[in-house]
Amino acid sequence: MKTYAILNMKGGVGKTTTAINLSYLLAAEHGLNVLLIDADAQRNATRALIEAGDYPTLYEILTGSELVSYWMDATQPTDIERLDMVPASDLLWGLDADPTGKFWTVHRLKDFLAAAAEGQTYDVAVIDCPPNFGAATAAAIMASDGIIIPMLPDAYSAEGMADLTRQIEGVKSINPDVRVAGILINQVQRAGVVDDAAAYIRENAPCPVYKNVIRRTVKVIESTWAKEPVLIWSPRSAAAQDYRAWVRELVDTEVLLPADQGGAAPASGEVLQHA
């Protein structure tokens, strides 16, 4: 089982949208068994995919609650075949208030996923991170093989490359083995200034940048109201097409499918460079 954290300390860059649509595509179109973990107290991914209920959440995993004595206690099915999720709780807000919290909680998601991996139920886990460096984010980084960074093609992101480098250093200090899989440029519009920003990000990023980008379309915003992946809400929209192309790129570069199921041949090098 491979685990990817969708991470960027900047808010509103498309982490949740990417986590939901990536999970959907891996499950529905690539036939993988996927576990989506909502690590954000805002609970946007949880609210999009499952009904409110009295179920254990990531909070119970991170606090070692006896409500989660077996890993399956904390997973919930969604309406999408092969896609389960670990919901978030608003109690996650309080984790960071406990000064010892980070220390105690940081290993627990990794241990939980190791137990799930033994059960061989899931091929991929995707973690939707909050826009801060709190205990849940630290636990997500600790549990991940790869980090995917959605980024807007604006001046703030371009000028924020030094911040991004520091963020990556922070990530590596938590988990030296984690790899920054790539930056995904999101909300691209047809405009010279956007092309310039995207080109700047490609030239100056301290990590690979995916060849495919996600265009901005109102269908994504509509899909949040419909509580559906944009792939279901508007499968032919620009963003749906782009997510499909990007996930194909990810599946190939990360070798998520065996070769006899259409996966790419294993890469010889550890670090994969995207154009």
Ligand X SMILES: Nc1ncnc2c1ncn2[C@@H]1O[C@H](COP(=O)(O)OP(=O)(O)OP(=O)(O)O)[C@@H](O)[C@H]1O
Query: Which ranges of 88-237 does DSSP label H, i.e. alpha helix?
Result: 92-95, 101-105, 108-118, 135-143, 155-159, 161-174, 192-204, 218-226, 230-233
- Rounded CA separation 205/7 (Å): 15
Q: How far is the CB of 131 from Mg ion (least distance, A)?
A: 7
> Footprint of Mg ion on residues 44-83 (CB under 5 A)?
44
Residue given tokens 């499952």 in the structure block: 50
Helix (H) or strand (E) holding 180: strand 179-185
Residue 12 touching ligand X (CB under 6 A):
yes
Per-residue burial over 131-142, b if 16 or more Cβ lie within 10 Å, else e, is bebbbbbbbbbb
Based on CB atoms, which residue is closest to Mg ion, 68 or 127?
A: 127
Counting every residue written for the chain, the total comes to 275
Smallest gap from residue 128 Cβ to Mg ion (A)? 6
* Contact partner, 224, from Mg ion, ligand X, none, Cβ < 5-8 Å per class: ligand X
- Is residue 191 within the footprint of ligand X (CB under 6 A)? no
Report d(CA 87, CA 58) in Å as an integer.
6
User: Can residue 11 be called a binding residue for ligand X (CB under 6 A)?
Assistant: yes
Q: Which residues between 9 and 28 bind Mg ion (CB under 5 A)?
A: 15-16
Q: Whole-number minimum distance, CB 15 to Mg ion, in Å?
A: 5
CA nearest 149: which of 183, 177, 115?
183
Nearer to ligand X, 123 or 228 (CB): 228
14 binds ligand X (CB under 6 A): yes
Footprint (CB under 6 A) of ligand X, residues 232-251: 239
Question: Where along the sequence are the contacts to Mg ion (CB under 5 A)?
Answer: 15-16, 44
Question: Where along the sequence are the contacts to ligand X (CB under 6 A)?
Answer: 11-17, 40, 42, 44, 131, 186-187, 214, 216-217, 220-221, 224, 239
